[in-house]
Amino acid sequence: MDTKEKVAKVIEKVRPALQQDGGDIQLLDVKGDVAKVRLQGACAGCPMAQMTLKNYVEAMIKKEVPEIKTVETG
């Protein structure tokens, strides 16, 4: 399983929590140690989106896929 597939599996785990609040997340790409995602729905315009991205999404991805060092929106 390559890094992008590993990140996609983690995205599937965090997606239900975002969907509960009317949002969603899409994996755009993985290049080197950076995963690029797009926040959608309620998450796209939410003032807490950056905090959710860093404190929840990025933390989960880094925990399960240690080769990823950062998650960015793209």
- The CATH number of whichever domain residue 36 belongs to comes to 3.30.300.130
pLDDT values of the chain reduced to their tens digit, one per residue, 74 residues: 899 999 999 999 999 999 998 999 999 999 999 999 999 999 888 888 889 999 999 999 999 999 999 999 98
Pairing, β 34-41 against β 70-73? parallel
Query: What is the secondary structure of 20-40 as a DSSP string?
Result: HTTEEEEEEEEETTEEEEEEE
Q: What is the DSSP letter of 32?
A: T
Count structural domains, the chain: 1
Give me the domain span that covers residue 55: 3-73
Up-side HSE of residue 19: CA atoms within 13 Å toward CB? 7
Copy the structure tokens of residue 41.
């729905």
